[in-house]
Structure 1
Amino acid sequence: MSGLEIPFKVTEGYLGPQSKFEAYGLQMLAHSDPIIDMAGPTTEIIMSAPPGTRVTTKMLSVAMKKECNEYHLIRRQGDNFLFLLAPPTPGFYKFQLYALPKGEAGPQMQCVFNYIVHCPNPGDGQPFPKQYPQWKDGCYLTEPLKIPKGNRDPAVKFNVFVPKAGDVQVKINNDWNPLEATSPGNWEGMVDLSKNYPPGTKAKLNCKFSGHNYNTLLEYTI
Structure 2
Amino acid sequence: MAARPDLQKGYLGPQSKFEEFGLSTVTHQDPEINIDSNQVEVQIRVSKPTKVTANLTSCAKNEELPQHVFTQTKDGVVSVKVSLPEVGYYKLQIFALLLPDDSKTLPGVYNYLINCSRIASAVATYPKQFAQWKEGCYIVSPSNLDPNVSLAETKFEVFIPKVKSAAVVADGSWTHLNQNTAGLWEGTVNLDPYRFKDAKVTLNANYGDDNKFSTLLEYKV
TM-score by length of 2: 0.91
Secondary structure (helix, strand or coil) at the match of 2:133 reads helix
What pairs with 1:102-181 in structure 2 (closer than 5 Å)? 102=99, 106-122=103-119, 123-149=121-147, 153-181=151-179
Q: Deviations over 1:147-206 (max 9, x none)?
A: 123555221111111112211111012211122211353011111013366611001011
Q: In 1, Cα distance between the equivalents of 2:25 and 2:194?
A: 45
Task: Indicate the larger mover: 26-35 or 140-149.
Answer: 140-149
Q: Deviations over 1:42-94 (max 9, x none)?
A: 11111111322222211101111110011111110122111111111111100
Q: Name the CA shift for 1:177/1:104 in 2 (closer, same or farther; >3 Å).
A: closer
Q: In 1, Cα distance between the equivalents of 2:133 and 2:99?
A: 16
Q: In 2, Cα distance between the equivalents of 1:76 and 1:105?
A: 18
On the 8 A contact 1:163/1:185 being kept in 2, the answer is no
> Residue 221 of structure 1 corresponds to which residue in structure 2?
220
> Residue 64 of structure 1 corresponds to which residue in structure 2?
61
Q: Name the CA shift for 1:90/1:49 in 2 (closer, same or farther; >3 Å).
A: same
| Paired AA for residue 190 in structure 2 | D
Task: Indicate the larger mover: 84-93 or 34-43.
Answer: 34-43
Q: In 2, Cα distance between the equivalents of 1:206 and 1:110?
A: 27
On the 8 A contact 1:165/1:185 being kept in 2, the answer is no
The CA RMSD over aligned residues, in Å, is 2.0
Q: Name the CA shift for 1:88/1:181 in 2 (closer, same or farther; >3 Å).
A: same
> Residue 201 of structure 2 corresponds to which residue in structure 1?
203
Q: Name the CA shift for 1:40/1:22 in 2 (closer, same or farther; >3 Å).
A: same
| Paired AA for residue 40 in structure 2 | T
Secondary structure (helix, strand or coil) at the match of 1:30 reads coil
> Residue 77 of structure 1 corresponds to which residue in structure 2?
74
| Paired AA for residue 53 in structure 1 | T
Q: Does 1:43 align with 2:33?
A: no
Gap regions ≥5 residues in structure 1:
none
Q: Percent identity?
A: 31
